Amino acid sequence: MRGTLDYCHNLLNKIQETTDISENVIEKIQIYVDLLKNLQMQFQNIEELFFKLDFTYIENIFEGIEQISIKNDLLPKLEDIPL
């Protein structure tokens, strides 16, 4: 999940520059950010349980966001962005 929030932030900036992206992408980003925020709030004092969670659902949401970004030539895959 490291870097995904920065990725979403950069993607939102790119979306502002184009009119071809639907509101659906923005909704997906909002859902993703809300899920991460809620997880952080729920597990802020019990980190050992946080690291035992299955993040597949959240990862799938981000991968969908990433695919839309790639398809529309906005950003490359997160793993392809240099640090």
Q: Kindly report, residue by residue over 19-36, the tens digit of the pLDDT.
A: 667 778 889 999 999 999
Given pLDDT bands bounded at 50, 70 and 90, which one contains residue 40? confident
> pLDDT > 90: what percent of the chain?
51
Contact 50, 43 (CB under 8 A): yes
> pLDDT > 70: what percent of the chain?
95
Q: How many CB atoms lie within 10 A of CB 39?
A: 15
Above 80 in pLDDT, residue 83? Answer: no
Higher pLDDT, 11 or 53: 11
CA–CA separation, 20 vs 78, rounded Å? 21
Q: What is the pTM of this model?
A: 0.82
In this prediction, residues 64-72 reach a mean pLDDT of 93
Contact 11, 69 (CB under 8 A): yes
Tokens of 76: 């490359």
